[in-house]
Amino acid sequence: QVQLVESGGGSVQAGGSLRLSCAASRYTYSTACMAWFRQTPGKGREGVASIDSNGRTTYTDSAKGRFTISKDNAKNTLYLQMNSLKPEDTAMYYCAGTGNYCYMAGTRALESHEYYYWGQGTQVTVSS
């Protein structure tokens, strides 16, 4: 059974940085599409950033220039470096993955229904 486990969330002040990690078991990152989503109470999951098996990345507009998604295939770990954090970035952050041999970028890559596997989430809180 595939397991995705996020870590690295926490509380920071506006302007600060956090790096989220997502470690996987029974799963191969190198051929999958991976993404980070976030969710606040009462709202649906919003795609933040994605990376496909060719390394193509997609970001939501609010994340461009501030967040960087990357993965270490050897360690089977996905990362999200978040800089210049804002209070509106406060949310539960989830990593997600697709099946193998995935090539996906653009709007479709940030749609939650494209992803099969999900972690349990890590909370990010940004105070003003």
The answer, yes or no, to whether residue 2 has pLDDT greater than 90, is: no
Q: Please give the pLDDT value at position 67.
A: 98
Q: Please give the pLDDT value at position 99.
A: 81
pLDDT in tens, 119-128: 999 999 999 9
Tokens read off for 92:
């539960």
Integer CA distances (angstroms), 119 to 83, 84, 87, in order: 22, 25, 23
Amino acid at 27: Y
3-class DSSP assignment, residue 90: coil
CB 108 within 8 A of CB 114: yes
Q: Please give the pLDDT value at position 1.
A: 84
pLDDT in tens, 108-121: 999 999 999 999 99
